[in-house]
Chains A and B, each alone.
Chain A
Amino acid sequence: MSVPAPLLLLPVLAPLAAAALLAGRARPLGAALLVAAPLTGVLALGAEALGLPWLLLGTRLELDALGRALLAPTVPVATAALLAAVAGGGRADPRRAGLLAALAAVMAAFMGVLLAADLASLYLAYSAMTLAAYPLVVHARTPEAFRAGRVYLTMALLAEAAVLAAVLLIAAEAGNVALAEAPAAVAGHEQRRLLVGLILLGFAVKAGVVPLHAWLALAHPVAPVPGSALLSALLVKAALVAWWRLLPLGEAALPTLGAALAAAGLLSSLYASLVGVTQRRPKTVLAYSTVSQMGLMAALTGLALLRPAAAPAAGAALAVFAVHHGLAKGALFLGCGLHGRRRGWYLLLPALALAGAPVTSGALAKVGLKQVGADVAGAALGPLLLAVSALTTLLLARFLALAWRGEGGRDPLPQRLAVLALVALGLVLPWGVGWRLMPSGVAYALQPSALLDALLPVLAGAAAAAGALALQGRVAMPRVPEGDWIKPALLAGMRLRRAARRAGRRLRRSPALSAPR
């Protein structure tokens, strides 16, 4: 199957073109094209690399292995999210056209991240995605939404300052380097440690590594459902894509930074699960679950940075993990948009998958993580991963308890179909990708001992959840604000500013300082 290379531009341009139609009179046509636009991503699977030397600083588009794997969640989640936005309950929304345009822009930018094969294009797509996501976050136009938007954009832009510095450092030595050669360029860079540090820091905000995760917990609950689905299932993965394309994984060992990232990732996972359990809104719980899962993927990246020999296995495990998480999280968020009394049934399977129940895609993803972890860090990681799995189960039990009963009402058929399709694909696609990328893992995950291994933490988590249910009403659950540290920080900043203003006024009024006229 060979597709002409210029069609590689289609996944980026099609959503934008459809969004442009939305502004004019051809609104129904635009909406239909918009829903179909993500499907053009399939074309990229068969296309050769595309070189456009006259564009920007010499653009190259090509799908690398991780990008290829990530198309598996991208195409269905984006299609389902757009379908839900077009057909779903938001029809009465006066700003629906704006929402669709923002979804289209985020989609196009994310496709751009997947397809970019040179440094400048990656930076272009990544920063465009950052800006395009802002209108999604503030779509509700409430003070809460604007606060979330401000926190999101501030954190994202500060991080992108580090990205810009890193990009310039790479470009100073290698020019607008092809991404296939970028890891080698970074490995051989004069200021390798600084550069790797900047890359890690710059993309850590999108990846939601604690404590840089605060925006996620604020943005997801306020964004409209299709928006949070795109944010949580896809957008955060762009950081992983960038890490895997720029970091010298498999080229050079950076034990300190690698260990730091792995530790930060695992801590993120534990911490986010614990905080997430205390939350009261289902979408916030899901946001913390995303932080927790992204922590595990960051840990995989850290392990690969720690030991270059483990990089190929870690890459495969990461791809499977990302596919699994993207599909499951997309289904859960879109499921939150349903209103039916029994919407819990739509959510059950993806929640079980995220918890890592046996035979689900989550079990496969965790097998990959466990194998790489055992390879790099020995047996020490085993108990830690067990705890992570148990807490994940507890977190998802909390989510199911909160989200099971919808507020009632009929859901349009296309919206329900969109969720069901994601649930169904979540059962299949991760195994398919796993079969291609880590066949031994697939075989291992289906052995009886592995099934038992997967079952244990889920049972432990379920037991804890049952215990919590039994204690409900008798023990007060600690309250942690959404975005944990951000609210006290914002308050402190406001108080500080007010105090400074008051002090300034007092100074101006004091007779000692006022100049004689």
Chain B
Amino acid sequence: MMAAAYGLLPLAALLIAVATAAIVFALGDARRRQRTFWNLFGAGAKLVLVLVMAYGVLQGDTFEVAWPVLPGITLRLAADRLALLFAVLSAGLWLVTTVYAIAYLEGSGQRARFFGFFSLCVAATFGIALAGNPFTFLCFYELLTLATYPLVVHRGHPAALAAGRTYLIHTLGGGAALLAGTAALYAAVGEHPYTPGGMPAVAEWAAQAPAAATAVLGLLLGGVAVKAALFPLQGWLPAAMVAPAPVSALLHAVAVVKAGAFGVVRIVEDVYGHALAAELHVTPVLSALAAVTVVYGSVRALAQVDLKRRLAFSTVSQVSFITLGVAVGGQLALVGGLAHLIHQGLMKVTLFFCAGNYAETLGEHRIDALDGAGRRMPATSAAFTVAALGMMGAPPLAGFISKWYLGIGALGQGQGWVVGVLVASTLLNAAYFLPILRRLWLLSATRDWPARAGRAETHRGLLYPPLLTAAAVLLAGLLAAAPLSPLGWAVRIVEQGYPGL
């Protein structure tokens, strides 16, 4: 009995998020305390279950739940190491973001709708993480699109609605491509679970019909590239900035862009296999696109005067490092890309929390209005500084570890040009983050900000989440060599899952 329940943990964790959504919807707007309780309970319980699964996987247990929907089509949840990398990130940051969102949205309307879709969005992300085959992935991927739309347009003003429209056009287009690609794949080879190194059936098919296999791979990657904000499909991401700060944090760090990047990992490594994708000449294109996106996003970020917009373009740039690590090939670059999946999430969630704090506490959205904010909000600004330096790739922070592995991995594959991209990214990141730090810490305030309400510089629910994630950014870099760091976990995934790379 216990053993059976243990095996069903993936389903339980998924259901917790769905149930939280249902309860929150049912409670309605008025019952704030109960809603807060269920939100926190759901997020906490899911984190515990995910950590139990992570421990189990470390011990060599396997978790798998399969449910045949139609003949030949199964919904399959499987917790392998790669799945748990993403699941731990999403569960952990869900909890933190929930705490933040409760404090952030205090007093604004439509909170039941907000938190309901928030939970649904996390459920979808979790499903994407644990999807065991392309069909399951597709289902949750489309669910994610639908669950995030209400969050993007939450404020309801015309700008938000316009941004929501942009978001829907992009993501539904991507979803259609993914649907077509998945259907074609199933038609050609039938259903197979994800296989590290590529599905053998796909390899056989590609040997017989390379053109068709290439086209399907293009469709699949094109579908996930929208959410991964790969150039030229990145337009929705800066537009979606109108969403409230916790949503942006979730969108940029965990849910949407990460779902896209994770999809790239799954398709390249577990459906086709890197060797086959390289044989079909898809990975060079993918790495070139990722490199272009890295530089393009940073260059656009330079010109932004709105803090959240600058952060959004920075996301465009940074997420592509994951794609780059996958596309370049080789164990070390993949380690760098996978570690960056976590690192970027931690850094970006911190930055958006801080941007939200400046907006909520000081009422400032523009970068040039932040002069001297470091004196008024030292803790928030310290967290922002750590995350921004991490984005630049300054040691000993998380971003440095990603760049180190991406760089040596690419050089090991004989692709020295990637080092040029890394260096350019570092310089551009310095060019758009360091001026913000200078304003925060070195200039003196020119505006009258509301005085502190209590001893803390802002609401504690807004203050502790960024401090926590900033500490994680520091520790992920400082303790990278420890076995359970994001890097250590990524190394484990690659060594045991992809020994042949």
Considering residues A54, A57, A138, which has the most beta carbons from chain B within 10 angstroms of its beta carbon? A57
The answer, yes or no, to whether A124 is at the interface (CB within 8 Å) is: yes
The answer, yes or no, to whether B387 is at the interface (CB within 8 Å) is: no
**Contact between A172 and B412 (Cβ–Cβ < 8 Å)?**
yes
Chain A residues with Cβ below 8 Å from B426 are 161, 164
Question: Whole-angstrom distance from the CB of B445 to the nearest CB of chain A?
Answer: 13
In the complex with contacts A168-B407, A171-B407, A172-B411, A54-B482 CB distance below 8 A? yes
Chain A residues with Cβ below 8 Å from B438 are 138
Considering residues B395, B401, B430, B434, which has the most beta carbons from chain A within 10 angstroms of its beta carbon? B395
In residues 434-489 of chain B, which contact A (Cβ within 8 Å)? 434, 438, 441-444, 477-482
**Contact between B395 and A124 (Cβ–Cβ < 8 Å)?**
yes
**Contact between B479 and A153 (Cβ–Cβ < 8 Å)?**
no
Question: Whole-angstrom distance from the CB of B100 to the nearest CB of chain A?
Answer: 26
Question: How distant is the Cα of A340 from the Cα of B404 in the complex, in angstroms?
Answer: 52
**Contact between A164 and B423 (Cβ–Cβ < 8 Å)?**
yes
Type the 1/0 row for B153-188, where 1 means its CB is closer than 8 Å to any CB of A. Answer: 000000000000000000000000000000000000
Closest to B444 in A: A141
**Contact between A54 and B479 (Cβ–Cβ < 8 Å)?**
yes
In the complex with contacts A124-B396, A135-B442, A171-B407, A55-B479 CB distance below 8 A? yes
In residues 400-422 of chain B, which contact A (Cβ within 8 Å)? 400-401, 403-404, 407-408, 411-412, 419-420, 422
Question: How distant is the Cα of A123 from the Cα of B395 in the complex, in angstroms?
Answer: 8
**Contact between B427 and A168 (Cβ–Cβ < 8 Å)?**
no
The answer, yes or no, to whether B394 is at the interface (CB within 8 Å) is: yes
The answer, yes or no, to whether A475 is at the interface (CB within 8 Å) is: no
Closest to B378 in A: A23
Closest to A58 in B: B481
Question: Whole-angstrom distance from the CB of A64 to the nearest CB of chain B?
Answer: 20
**Contact between A127 and B395 (Cβ–Cβ < 8 Å)?**
yes
**Contact between B419 and A169 (Cβ–Cβ < 8 Å)?**
yes
Question: How distant is the Cα of A377 from the Cα of B411 in the complex, in angstroms?
Answer: 38
**Contact between B434 and A168 (Cβ–Cβ < 8 Å)?**
no
**Contact between B478 and A56 (Cβ–Cβ < 8 Å)?**
yes
**Contact between B442 and A138 (Cβ–Cβ < 8 Å)?**
yes
Question: How distant is the Cα of A171 from the Cα of B411 in the complex, in angstroms?
Answer: 9
Chain A residues with Cβ below 8 Å from B419 are 165, 168-169
Question: How distant is the Cα of A243 from the Cα of B155 in the complex, in angstroms?
Answer: 56
Question: Whole-angstrom distance from the CB of B23 to the nearest CB of chain A?
Answer: 42
In the complex with contacts A55-B478, A153-B434, A168-B394 CB distance below 8 A? no
Chain A residues with Cβ below 8 Å from B443 are 141
**Contact between A161 and B423 (Cβ–Cβ < 8 Å)?**
yes
**Contact between A120 and B423 (Cβ–Cβ < 8 Å)?**
no
Question: Whole-angstrom distance from the CB of A201 to the nearest CB of chain B?
Answer: 13
In residues 129-183 of chain A, which contact B (Cβ within 8 Å)? 131, 135, 138, 141, 153, 157-158, 161, 164-165, 168-169, 171-172, 175
In the complex with contacts A153-B434, A158-B427, A161-B426, A171-B408 CB distance below 8 A? yes
In residues 91-130 of chain A, which contact B (Cβ within 8 Å)? 120, 123-124, 127-128
Closest to A162 in B: B423
**Contact between B480 and A57 (Cβ–Cβ < 8 Å)?**
yes
Question: How distant is the Cα of A168 from the Cα of B396 in the complex, in angstroms?
Answer: 15
**Contact between A168 and B422 (Cβ–Cβ < 8 Å)?**
yes
Chain B residues with Cβ below 8 Å from A138 are 438, 442
Question: How distant is the Cα of A332 from the Cα of B405 in the complex, in angstroms?
Answer: 45
Q: A57, A131, A135, A172: which contacts B407 (Cβ < 8 A)?
A: A172
Type the 1/0 row for B381-396, where 1 means its CB is closer than 8 Å to any CB of A. Answer: 0000000010001111
In the complex with contacts A157-B430, A161-B423, A164-B426, A53-B481 CB distance below 8 A? yes
Type the 1/0 row for A458-482, where 1 means its CB is closer than 8 Å to any CB of B. Answer: 0000000000000000000000000
Q: How many A-B residue pairs have CB under 8 A?
A: 69
In residues 215-262 of chain A, which contact B (Cβ within 8 Å)? none
**Contact between A131 and B394 (Cβ–Cβ < 8 Å)?**
yes
Q: Classify the interface of chain B: helix, strand, loop or mixed.
A: helix
Chain B residues with Cβ below 8 Å from A54 are 479, 481-482
**Contact between B478 and A120 (Cβ–Cβ < 8 Å)?**
no
Q: B396, B422, B434, B444: which contacts A164 (Cβ < 8 A)?
A: B422
Chain B residues with Cβ below 8 Å from A53 are 481
**Contact between A56 and B395 (Cβ–Cβ < 8 Å)?**
yes
Question: Whole-angstrom distance from the CB of A471 to the nearest CB of chain B?
Answer: 44
Q: A56, A165, A171: which contacts B396 (Cβ < 8 A)?
A: A56
Closest to B427 in A: A161
Question: How distant is the Cα of A168 from the Cα of B480 in the complex, in angstroms?
Answer: 17
Considering residues A56, A120, A131, A141, which has the most beta carbons from chain B within 10 angstroms of its beta carbon? A56
Question: Whole-angstrom distance from the CB of B398 to the nearest CB of chain A?
Answer: 11
Closest to B482 in A: A54
Chain B residues with Cβ below 8 Å from A58 are 481
Chain B residues with Cβ below 8 Å from A55 are 478-479, 481
In residues 286-325 of chain A, which contact B (Cβ within 8 Å)? none
Question: How distant is the Cα of A169 from the Cα of B409 in the complex, in angstroms?
Answer: 10
Question: How distant is the Cα of A168 from the Cα of B400 in the complex, in angstroms?
Answer: 11
Type the 1/0 row for A322-352, where 1 means its CB is closer than 8 Å to any CB of B. Answer: 0000000000000000000000000000000
**Contact between B411 and A168 (Cβ–Cβ < 8 Å)?**
yes
Closest to A141 in B: B442
Question: Whole-angstrom distance from the CB of A101 to the nearest CB of chain B?
Answer: 10
Question: Whole-angstrom distance from the CB of A322 to the nearest CB of chain B?
Answer: 25
Chain A residues with Cβ below 8 Å from B389 are 131
Question: Whole-angstrom distance from the CB of A264 to the nearest CB of chain B?
Answer: 23
Question: How distant is the Cα of A147 from the Cα of B407 in the complex, in angstroms?
Answer: 33
Q: A127, A153, A168: which contacts B404 (Cβ < 8 A)?
A: A168
Question: How distant is the Cα of A56 from the Cα of B476 in the complex, in angstroms?
Answer: 9
Question: How distant is the Cα of A58 from the Cα of B430 in the complex, in angstroms?
Answer: 26
Question: How distant is the Cα of A20 from the Cα of B389 in the complex, in angstroms?
Answer: 20
Chain A residues with Cβ below 8 Å from B441 are 135
In residues 419-438 of chain A, which contact B (Cβ within 8 Å)? none
Question: How distant is the Cα of A172 from the Cα of B427 in the complex, in angstroms?
Answer: 21
In the complex with contacts A54-B479, A58-B481, A169-B394 CB distance below 8 A? no
Question: How distant is the Cα of A232 from the Cα of B411 in the complex, in angstroms?
Answer: 36
Closest to A174 in B: B408
Question: How distant is the Cα of A161 from the Cα of B412 in the complex, in angstroms?
Answer: 20
Considering residues B393, B394, B408, B478, which has the most beta carbons from chain A within 10 angstroms of its beta carbon? B408
Q: A120, A135, A169: which contacts B411 (Cβ < 8 A)?
A: A169
Question: Whole-angstrom distance from the CB of A442 to the nearest CB of chain B?
Answer: 40
Question: How distant is the Cα of A128 from the Cα of B400 in the complex, in angstroms?
Answer: 13
**Contact between B479 and A120 (Cβ–Cβ < 8 Å)?**
no
Question: Whole-angstrom distance from the CB of B406 to the nearest CB of chain A?
Answer: 9
Chain A residues with Cβ below 8 Å from B404 are 57, 120, 168, 171
Question: How distant is the Cα of A157 from the Cα of B433 in the complex, in angstroms?
Answer: 13
Question: Whole-angstrom distance from the CB of B379 to the nearest CB of chain A?
Answer: 12
Question: Whole-angstrom distance from the CB of B271 to the nearest CB of chain A?
Answer: 29
In the complex with contacts A120-B395, A168-B407, A169-B419, A56-B427 CB distance below 8 A? no
Chain B residues with Cβ below 8 Å from A168 are 404, 407-408, 411, 419, 422
Question: Whole-angstrom distance from the CB of B384 to the nearest CB of chain A?
Answer: 15
Question: How distant is the Cα of A80 from the Cα of B407 in the complex, in angstroms?
Answer: 41
Chain B residues with Cβ below 8 Å from A141 are 442-444
Chain B residues with Cβ below 8 Å from A161 are 423, 426-427
Closest to B412 in A: A172
Chain A residues with Cβ below 8 Å from B442 are 135, 138, 141
In residues 50-85 of chain A, which contact B (Cβ within 8 Å)? 53-58
Closest 4 CB pairs of A and B: A172-B411, A168-B407, A124-B395, A172-B408
29 contacts between A and B (CB under 8 A): A53-B481, A54-B479, A55-B478, A55-B479, A56-B395, A56-B477, A56-B480, A57-B404, A120-B395, A120-B404, A123-B395, A124-B396, A124-B400, A127-B394, A127-B395, A128-B394, A131-B389, A138-B438, A161-B426, A161-B427, A164-B403, A164-B407, A165-B419, A165-B423, A168-B407, A168-B419, A168-B422, A171-B408, A172-B407
17 additional contacts, CB 8 Å, given A120-B404, A128-B394, A164-B422?
A: A56-B396, A57-B401, A57-B480, A120-B395, A124-B400, A138-B438, A138-B442, A141-B443, A141-B444, A164-B393, A164-B407, A164-B423, A164-B426, A169-B419, A171-B407, A172-B407, A172-B411
